[in-house]
Amino acid sequence: MEFTFLGRTALKVSRLCLGTMNFGPHTTEEDSYAIMDRAHELDINFFDTANVYGWKKGEGVTEQIIGRWFAQGGGRREKTVIATKVYGDMGDWPNESRLSALHIKKAAEDSLRRLQTDYIDIYQMHHIYRQAPWEEIWQAMEQLVREGKVLYVGSSNFAGWHIAKANEAAKSRYFLGLVSEQSLYNLNARMVEMEVIPACEDYGLGLIPWSPLAGGLLGGILKKIESGRRASEGVQKALETHRPKIEAYEAFCAEIGENPADVALAWLLHNPVVTAPIIGPRTLEQLDGSLRALEIKLDADALAKLDEIFPGPGGAAPESYAW
């Protein structure tokens, strides 16, 4: 396993991040334990979760599963850089969601209880909340850091100007500010190249791409369908829209002798701003298969071909749309 620094920090994390969103709804607790144990065997030390995962309002099902796994001991907590999130609805009362100072404090303490730990390595805002001034957000985050309950703060689904505004506000308070951004980013969804990636690069944030395989669209979907496997309704609709691209993509992957999923991850890892794509395996086999991406080195010709198939927005703004 390769390791890298998370953005401008001295925190070392694995180049693949274990996503846990399937734990509970799609992967049993026993199988979730096995996947997390195997991740440690593979030297994956970076796990991502959220208080809303498990999709039972207020219960934090996935965090609870991870917490019970931590409680087994054996260095599980100490070997894990755990990232969780705050923003989503955790109840029906007015202040049980979003980014008020009140909710940030309560959500953090509830996550700590469910995770059975006394600190969160990376506490991520799951979405921008325009009603909350940065003075309020940073005051709440600073308090959690002072208390030792949070070590680093990250964002998710922020625009580039949100990152800039957040970190300028943090700078004025002599606070570290955002150190990571978790964005939708894959070969078929490259809009973040216009503003978000340049902001991450300038402010020293590590980019953590979610949905690196576009929900399975980039994971060899055509071959799987041919073998009789059924894709989800969402992936089927996406395939209808993007079939020519996917046909060209899978043909290219076959030409270079690599699995489409591995090429999609390798393409993300080629970007120096990317810290670690989030992989969300449902099985041990899927987890083990992801490691091949670390070995693939795409040359200039391969990168040019992928740009031809998936053109993206044309690079960073403003040149992507102006002279």
Q: What is the 3-state secondary structure (H, E, C) of 5-68?
A: ECCCCCCEEECCEEECCCECCCECHHHHHHHHHHHHHCCCCEEECCCCCCCCCCCCHHHHHHHH
**Banded pLDDT at 136 (limits 50, 70, 90):** very high
pLDDT at site 185? 98
CATH of range 3-216+262-300; options 3.30.390.10, 3.40.640.10, 3.40.190.10, 3.20.20.100: 3.20.20.100
| Segment 151-162 mean pLDDT | 98
Amino acid residing at 139? Q
| Segment 267-290 mean pLDDT | 94
Q: Is the pLDDT of residue 16 over 80?
A: yes
> Active-site residue numbers?
53
Angle at 224 between CA 219 and CA 227, to 5 degrees: 165
pLDDT at site 226? 83
Q: Is the pLDDT of residue 196 over 80?
A: yes
Tell me the average pLDDT of the chain.
96
| Segment 62-91 mean pLDDT | 98
pLDDT digits (tens, 9 = 90+) for 1-12: 999 999 999 999
Q: Is the pLDDT of residue 93 over 80?
A: yes
Q: What is the pTM of this model?
A: 0.95
Amino acid residing at 192? V
Q: Is the pLDDT of residue 230 over 80?
A: no
pLDDT digits (tens, 9 = 90+) for 171-190: 999 999 999 999 999 999 99
